[in-house]
Amino acid sequence: MALKIRLARAGTKKRPFYHIVIADARSPRDGRFIEKLGTFNPLLAKDAENRIVLNNERAQHWLSVGAVPTDRVLRFLDAAGLAKRDARNNPNKGEPGEKAKARAEEKAAKDAAANAPAEEEAAE
């Protein structure tokens, strides 16, 4: 059985609250889980002590058994010193897409064509 340490959503609409749980990878996000390890309240300030409550002892046990944390939970475990998360770098993320590049080229060509007659008149 593939085990995951992941977030299970609780709370009402527009008021998210998450439980950090151990679950079978095939079970649904808010479905059956094996054990609850803690909670995460994203509405609290980042420096609030109750924002992330985690049972470090049990989390370490499940990591040693082979449970794989999701990226968000891995961030929590890294902050607690239980696991190491490598920094990610995607330099292409901020680059515009193909259509946006094509539009920018068309606009540059139009601007160059519109400015060319004005420059010729100024040169005379």
Are residues 64 and 39 part of one domain? yes
Which phi and psi angles does 99 have, rounded to 5°? -65, -40
Shared domain check, 57 and 13: yes
- Euclidean distance between CA atoms 35 and 67, whole angstroms: 12
Q: Are residues 71 and 122 in the same domain?
A: no
Give the structural domain span for 57.
3-80
Count structural domains, the chain.
Answer: 2
Check residues 103 and 87 and name the one with the higher pLDDT.
Answer: 103
Same domain, 103 and 68: no
Residue 8 banded pLDDT, cuts 50, 70, 90? very high
For residues 113 and 51, give the distance between their C-alpha atoms in angstroms, rounded to a whole number.
Answer: 57
Check whether residue 13 and residue 51 sit in a common domain.
Answer: yes
Whether pTM exceeds 0.95: no
Tens of pLDDT, residue by residue over 20-77, are 999 999 988 888 899 999 999 999 999 999 999 999 999 999 999 999 999 999 999 9
pLDDT at 94: 82
